[in-house]
Amino acid sequence: MMSSENRSQFSVSCSSVSEKARAKINLALHVTGQRPDGYHLLDMLVTFADHGDRLDFMRSPADAFTLSGRFGEVLAGDGGTNLVLKARDLLRGAIGPLAFPVRIHLEKNLPVASGIGGGSADAAATLRGLMRLWGTTLSAETLAALALRLGADVPMCLESRPLIARGIGEKIEPVPDLPGFAMVLANPLKGVSTPEVFRRLATKNNPALSLTPSRPQAADWLAAIAAARNDLEPPARDLVPEIAAIAAMLQAHGALLTRMSGSGATCFGMFASMAAAVDAAAALHGARSDWYFQATETVSGGA
């Protein structure tokens, strides 16, 4: 029996809802230490792209999960290891008997395990979408704890807006002054081992992230981001030489700044306009149609 306190958390449910799972872009990633349990301490400037996966949730006689999209086949057959299903089950455990069966469809448009938070964004979108479908709200603290159980990136993806994340990613501070940027995401579709990238770090106690743009304008933020770094990029380039090649391709097609996101292998190029980004992505796709190139625009902090 649900208590009156828990029952008050529920509102009218929907028959179907949709959620976008935006790509998570690490504009900067500084490794500042390591905890005794092995987790690395990070300072990250994070933003989110308009491009991403899409999830549809609908009431169903029984739980079901289907896939489509360019990268859907990569996830086919992974069963309970999928973060979408883990998020569904975790949230259902927190909500109880009013969490009726659902059919979830994931349109997988983002490369898998590519440093842009695809799985984490999907898990976060699942939490958001199912709360709407099931007509429930949870406290911010409860929801953050659920998200963190799914992975260190999931609390950030729940926000899906510009932020600075510290610790292992759980200490989040919004960045309302960060503007949107025209961008091309680029990935050679070659896997890179995150544990191996961290193992190859030359030092794990690097200077912290310090961002002090003189004015909250795009050019000032671009300069501040250029002065930062991704400490995981050098070891990732050693493991996957294509990362250096794809960054050079972005630069050759007019990117103002290029950097790897997360632990790779996705790189991003920042462009002066969306038209320039679209042109660059088309040209790059023409040169290497077997790789992933996507023009997009990131959300602004004030969105």
Q: What is the pLDDT of residues 70-113, one digit of tens each?
A: 999 888 766 545 899 999 999 999 999 889 999 999 999 999 88
Average pLDDT score over residue span 185-201: 94
Q: Which of 53, 122, 153, 231 is catalytic?
A: 153
Q: What is the pLDDT of residues 230-241, one digit of tens each?
A: 999 999 999 999
pLDDT of residue 303: 63
Q: Which of 20, 24, 78, 220 is catalytic?
A: 24
pLDDT of residue 5: 35
Supply the Cα-derived Rg of the chain in whole angstroms: 20
Percent of the chain with pLDDT over 90: 83
Q: Provide CB contacts within 8 A for 145, sequence distance 6+.
A: none
pLDDT of 214 strictly over 70: no
Q: Is 24 a catalytic residue?
A: yes
Alpha-carbon gap, residue 121 to 266, rounded angstroms: 15
Q: Give the angle 233-226-159 at the CA atoms, nearest 5°.
A: 75
Q: Is 238 a catalytic residue?
A: no
pLDDT of 7 strictly over 50: no
Of residues 216 and 64, more confidently modeled? 64
pLDDT of residue 77: 66
Q: What is the pLDDT of residues 142-170, one digit of tens each?
A: 999 999 999 999 999 999 999 999 999 98
**Mean pLDDT for all residues in the chain:** 91
pLDDT of residue 4: 34
Alpha-carbon gap, residue 162 to 157, rounded angstroms: 10
pLDDT of residue 238: 96
Q: Provide CB contacts within 8 A for 219, sequence distance 6+.
A: none
Q: Are 154 and 145 in contact (CB under 8 A)?
A: no
pLDDT of residue 75: 82
For residue 246, give both structure tokens. 């794809």
Q: Are 273 and 183 in contact (CB under 8 A)?
A: no
pLDDT of residue 6: 36
Q: Are 151 and 120 in contact (CB under 8 A)?
A: yes
Q: What is the pLDDT of residues 247-284, one digit of tens each?
A: 999 999 999 999 999 999 999 999 999 999 999 999 99
Query: Model-level pTM?
Result: 0.91
Q: Provide CB contacts within 8 A for 174, sequence distance 6+.
A: 159, 161, 162, 163, 301
